Amino acid sequence: MGFLITDSQQGIYLADRQGSIIRQLSTQLQSPCWPVASREHLVVACHTQRDCLCIHRGLPEEEMTLPALPGLGGMCLSPCGRYLYQLSTEADCVHTLHLGSGELCYAMPAGVFPRCMRLHPDGRQLLIAGGAVCEAYVMTAPELLPLRTLHTRHPCFAADFCKDGFALLCAAEGEELQTILYVLSSKGVKPRERLRLPGQPGGLRVCPDGETALISTPDGLMRVCLATGQLLWNRPEWALCMRMDIHGHLAILSDTLCGSAALVDIQEPWKQQLLLRGTDVQACHLP
């Protein structure tokens, strides 16, 4: 296991499991962002052009350029290694691309300024937060057929699969903006509020146990029990962390206000390791 790291100024890096930079990928891609990885592929998008770079891990010298949606708001790779999913915050849609040919396979509208996309670990379902609307959407993967619309009381900024259901992070307006964490069972209709915090919502990621989640607000990065809403810990230095990628007990925090990426032990969060300090650092685990 290692890490794929991008920075809009410094480029694309591979790091080992200790977090040490082992190689910078030679590429002409400008302002790289949205790194995603599978056992077969590395894919990185571009801030300034509507392109993605796809590298086959078995043949790193063979690079392929794929189209990218405008206002890219997320990417996922299928476990089977055949498909790339892209979410657009400008076109309000999700696309399925074939990694072998680069061709568009499927497309589907999704919300208004959608903010987050998650692929179920089994690769069969996508979950998309509606963004400016009070909805989240469950679709088949890769076909993008609608399975279910999850209705929330407030605009849904982030969503993830949890044990027997869904975790939803919403923004409630009033005298001041608030972050609300909801949980909805797979057979339920009405989401149940678990936690309400001041300030705007940031990122959300359910931990591998399916029963706790990392959420971020202006007050920090927190681990929350989804059943009770109990706060297990809070790290204020990672306020409004927008991207979290968890493997086992290790979480990569990136797309942060401080422009850094770090490795954090979710069981012992005081154990932290800085991976890269830059301008716009994003990172993910290498399977």
Number of neighbouring beta carbons within 10 Å of residue 237: 14
Confidence grade of residue 131 (pLDDT, cut at 50, 70, 90): very high
Q: Between the CA atoms of 256, 262, 263 and 266, what dihedral angle is there, to the nearest 10 degrees?
A: -40
Q: What is the mean pLDDT of residues 129-144?
A: 97
Q: Say if residue 215's pLDDT is above 70.
A: yes
Q: What is the pLDDT, as a whole number, of residue 62?
A: 73
Q: What proportion of the chain, given as a percentage, has pLDDT over 90?
A: 82
SS3 assignment, position 1: coil
The pTM score is 0.94
CA distance 75 to 83: 11
Q: What is the mean pLDDT of residues 164-170?
A: 96
Q: Say if residue 101's pLDDT is above 90.
A: no
Q: What is the pLDDT, as a whole number, of residue 60?
A: 66
If we measure between CA atoms, which residue out of 233, 239, 236, 273 comes closest to residue 255?
A: 239
Q: What is the pLDDT, as a whole number, of residue 29?
A: 80
Q: What is the mean pLDDT of residues 173-187?
A: 92
Q: Say if residue 142's pLDDT is above 90.
A: yes
